[in-house]
Amino acid sequence: MPLIQRKKGAEADKAASDKAASSEEKIVQDGSEDEDRKKKESPAGKKKKKERGGEKGKWSCLDNCCWFVGCVCTVWWLLLFLYNAMPSSFPQYVTEVITGPLPDPPGVKLKKEGLTAKHPVVFVPGIVTGGLELWEGHECAEGLFRKRLWGGTFGEAYKRPLCWVEHMSLDNETGLDPPGIRLRPVTGLVAADYFMPGYFVWAVLIANLARIGYEEKTMYMAAYDWRLSFQNTEVRDQTLSRMKSHIEMMVATNGGKKAVVIPHSMGVLYFLHFMKWVEAPAPMGGGGGPDWCSKHIKAIMNIGGPFLGVPKAVSGLFSAEAKDIAVARAIAPGFLGNDIFRVQTLQRVMKMSRTWDSTMSMIPKGGETIWGGLDWSPEEGYLPSKRRQIMNDSQVSSESGTNSSSSRARVNYGRIISFGKDAAESPSSEIEMIDFRDAVKGRNLANTTCRDVWTEYHDMGIEGIRAVAEHRVYTAETVLDLLQFVAPKMMARGSAHFSYGIADDLDDPKYEHYKYWSNPLETKLPSASDIEIFSMYGVGIPTERAYVYKMSPSAECFIPFQIDTSFEGEYEDSCLKDGVYTVEGDETVPVLSAGFMCAKGWRGKTRFNPSGIRTYVREYDHAPPANLLEGRGTQSGSHVDVMGNFALIEDIIRVAAGATGEDLGGDQVYSDIFKWSEKINLAL
């Protein structure tokens, strides 16, 4: 019995050990399977397991970025919803709580005074502010018939940028439409009332004119394709003929009351060209006869007119830059300068804008006589400071910004382009300038080695590029040679349509050619002594006047020159900032260009104004908006925002309702335009 029991016990122990071994084997097997599963498991799966188990996964940079973008978008859409949901009067209510009661808009104010619509009004928009729509395009522009490619939301520029650039460009040989592409100006008041949703151009002025009784039949937007040279707008679209016939119709249907013409920016030069064209005999001109302007125009109220050009045009054509772009390029050189997503921003902008012949109309005119030379300029000694208003054209400000300290470095504004700060500041006798005109050009390998967008710089070669930099300094005269050297195709087209000199003898028959008509220094005003010409512009904003350049690090592959933003003035109120020298102006047009012709060149009877047309200078001192709810403000002096300046609008409405320049008080001046004009030795 004990033997049997022992045997059974042994068998039980063996079974137990076998069971334990089997269990152990199963555990090991399960463990190895778990290990295999863990190895095969994706990172996302592991993360989910950790989260299920209560463990927190580590956040990556991408997670943080996604959350940040999501939060910004959510807050933005919430604010946008609240803004659209609030009553339209709420922003005005808040503004009045903060700043006190707002003044009546000019239209409301003048209606209370009893003013009503009298003279028909013609608006002449400037460069880039008029809408352009597609009438014919390539396959990539399918579905865009009569959609705006310029102006509006600019949606297509984001959706298909290369297609957009292709359609916005003109033919590099003719300056007209490329084969298979037709962009045409939008017509009517909507052509330039808003540049894009919420960004007004002419809308505020139109609305205020409507307050005293104006409507579309007494207002006309003389829209044109601002990319074309002025004469080519007539060749291709008959725009000048349309303006002529429309003005004639408006005068005839308004009881013979003459038109008040209001050009803005480049539109000032365009209308100057029109006045010569309309009186010139056909086929070059409109055949209206020598008294057409006298019969049809009461006043020309030029807003922000670049009569003598703008230095900004030089930097734009030379390196596709202005001050803001140069700063952005310095902050993010990879975005603007390099091949990001195969869209090389600045190169494509340069290639496109150099086909727009109109940009060459704003190259500085008058050479060193107007803009100064290596060692002098009319604005010499200028420093920003408080100014007092002058209401009489015979007075000159005694509190102007000219009290410069002798310890300060002299600013040579006549040197529009300088390579290096030493070239900008040193006496001209110490600057070694190597002539670039005879430099040997040679094609570089940029097209194949850098996948670059072709520009005319590729035909210069590195030796030609170095020769440009070694010349060191360029004035208003030599900058024409510079542009001729770096962009010969562009300048060949431009020289057929524009001129930049000063006429010795205005009776010379050569000045009957249309290339001289938009240069006030090479043409006469019409024989119409009863017309009044106003120069109206903002002041009090630093405006680009001269630039310090350097060669780009990647000169062989991209645009070889750029503004050197590392240079700053030594003093807090210095005119040098981010490699750009600034003077008095409206942020785009210097006072010298906007005001000289009405302050001196056309003042009284001169060879440029033989009939003695009365001229007035009306400046509007810049005051930024008091708070964000004021938008762009009602006292702005900046180049476009001045179109919403209540004082300027009031002046325009008064003249349109029958007032004269004397009724407005004559000149209204804050700057030193009269003093600077006297420094210019121009035979009148």
Q: Distance between the two ends of the chain, CA-based, in angstroms?
A: 146
DSSP-derived 3-state class of residue 272: helix
For 491, residues 6+ apart whose C-beta sits below 8 A from its C-beta are 360, 480, 483, 484
For 287, residues 6+ apart whose C-beta sits below 8 A from its C-beta are 280, 281
Query: Known catalytic residue: 639?
Result: yes
Residue 649 CA, distance from chain mean position: 22
Single out the catalytic residue among 169, 357, 639, 677. Answer: 639
Single out the catalytic residue among 265, 361, 400, 677. Answer: 265
- Tokens 């390579």 -> residue: 419
Structure tokens at 477: 């005269």
For 386, residues 6+ apart whose C-beta sits below 8 A from its C-beta are 399
CA angle at residue 674 from 670 to 677, to 5 degrees?
135
Contact criterion met (CB below 8 Å) for 383 and 421: no
Single out the catalytic residue among 193, 357, 578, 586. Answer: 586
Kindly report the number of other CB atoms within 10 A of residue 365's CB atom: 26
The one-character DSSP state at 527 is: S
Contact criterion met (CB below 8 Å) for 215 and 107: no
Q: What is the rounded radius of gyration, in angstroms, for the C-alpha atoms of the chain? A: 33
Sign, Cα dihedral of 47, 52, 53, 55 = positive
Contact criterion met (CB below 8 Å) for 172 and 179: no
Q: What is the helix, strand, coil percentage profile of the chain, to 5?
A: 45, 15, 45
Structure tokens at 512: 């009957």
Give buried/exposed letters for 108-123 (b at 16+ CB in 10 A, else e). ebbbeeebebbbbbbb
Structure tokens at 245: 């016939």
Residue 294 CA, distance from chain mean position: 34
Contact criterion met (CB below 8 Å) for 511 and 449: no
Q: How far is CA 170 from CA 176, 229, 361, 403, 431, in A?
A: 6, 11, 16, 48, 40
DSSP-derived 3-state class of residue 620: strand
Query: Known catalytic residue: 622?
Result: no
Contact criterion met (CB below 8 Å) for 550 and 420: yes
State the burial class of residue 362 (Cβ atoms within 10 Å of its Cβ: 0-12, 13-18, 19+): buried
- Tokens 């949703």 -> residue: 197
The one-character DSSP state at 665 is: T
Query: Known catalytic residue: 119?
Result: no
Q: Distance (Å, rounded) from C-alpha 219 to C-alpha 206?
A: 8
Q: Distance (Å, rounded) from C-alpha 655 to C-alpha 204?
A: 17
For 66, residues 6+ apart whose C-beta sits below 8 A from its C-beta are none
Just list the catalytic residues. 265, 586, 639
